[in-house]
Structure 1
Amino acid sequence: MGIEIQQLLWLALAMLAAGGITGLLAGLFGVGGGTVAVPVLYELFRIMGVPYDVLMPLSIGTSLAIIIPTSIRSYNAHRARGMVDTSLLKLWAVPVVLGVVAGSVIARFAPAEVFKFIFILVAGVSAIRLLFGKDSWKIADQLPGKMVIRFIGLVIGVLSSLMGIGGGQLSNLFMTFYNRPIHQAVATSSGLGILISVPGALGYIYAGWPRAAEFPEIAALQPPLALGYVSLLGFLLVIPTSIFAAPIGVKLAHSLSKRKLEVSFGIFLLLICLRFLVSVFY
């Protein structure tokens, strides 16, 4: 019993620490923090004995739930500074939600490797753009037409749902390719996290509900510790520190120069890319 209590305490501390990092990055980079939360939760749930078949979707679903309050807090802080492009968010609203729903359906059947390769692809392209890109690396000076923007929103919704992220790195990439300032891209991306995380978490609850019955011996998958592919234990422990840390990240973001913010974000994404690449082969 003593060993079990000790393990639970370490688990609680790890999730609280993960929440702090998640919130800090949400504010700093305008991302929901899923790129940090997903790999951390993956390792924690693995230690808890969660079966491999449901390990990745449980991590992603829980990450999406965690992103909800973090994105709201981050968005409000960025909006107070007047940097959010609300007109772009309005165009993205419906297609992003439709994409998230489609991604949640795909997630029920996709193998773990699919999630990881999507992480590697998106993080790798984003990192290259941020670390080595030049101002001349752009598609146009103005955003494309409304239909193109809506289609991009649909793609962002699907990929974000399969990655367990708030869509920040995808929307940042899109906006900077169309000559939008990185600070505005970061701020607008924080609002996108709200559009993705709420329907995404609900979708993963629905997708994972029947799977929990297949593993009755795994407590981490059963109520009251979990609802479908959303771990309530992870949700409750990670959120407090993530909410606390998000405004700190926002303050730090606005204190950095454009280049420093790009390099910091690029290095962060590259590390995540390498982490998942190693996990695929080892």
Structure 2
Amino acid sequence: MSGPRRRAERHVAVAFGVAALAAAFFAAMYVLGDDTQLLGLGLLVAFAGLAVGFALWAHTLLPQGPFVEEREPMISPLPERRALASEFARDEAPLTRTALPRRMLTLALGVLGLAALFPIRSLLARGPNPWRALADTPWRAGARVVNDRGRPVRPGDVAEGGVVTVFPEGRAGIGDAAVLLIRVDPADLELPPGRENWAVDGLVAYSKLCTHAGCPVGLYVKQTQQLLCPCHQSLFDVLGGARPVAGPAARPLPQLPLGVGADGTLVARGGLSGPPGPGYWRKT
């Protein structure tokens, strides 16, 4: 095989190889993350590699025509007709004789086809569950309660009528993990059934994200013992499990079960009672 033809085959093979690698990159990015720019880049390079490979193949490996032979009309002898058929068969040989580009093309199309199967996972019934995704917060049983500076909080750190924004240890500042710690008179608590032991010495903890539009519920009205969302004036009853009593919010603020660790600091005894934040995704 001549040197120029060998180089041409290698160029075509490299183009198809780049397409295969880009398709594998697309599949890896789909599994490892959700960066749409990287996903788009992977597809762009994959299809560009195929396009370049096909173009090089057409211009360097296939016979270049047109082929015209001027001659008088006549019936050719049988040997000449056979020779002509053989010549045509030989001209078509690059389609079957160029093994390296053909194999790389098969590899590129195969990898790209497999990569195209990955997004199908998002369309299946077993795909991501919105309820699980929204309910998955850093709060876990045994997680220590810390303030916005990462310092552990003890029951005595919150005065009666006081409010402190707290987070799970190691995740201070995480938006969906923000919880309001409020001290009330234990005798006044009327928590929902099953939550009687979720408070510690009158300390109750509720998600800071309003269940209407996700605004921070940071205003505590001590006189009425209610939390007020400043965005749309939803009111939540602190004593009654943070159920909404006014405004557009239709779902209570998720509550965090509290306990005291061996070192005397507050800890979570489990996750939030429900997904924090807006409830627009949930049928009511």
TM > 0.5 between the two?
no
Which structure has more RCO (C-alpha within 8 Å, separation ≥ 6)? 1
Larger radius of gyration: 2
Q: TM-score, normalised by structure 1?
A: 0.21
Quick check: which one's strand share is greater?
A: 2
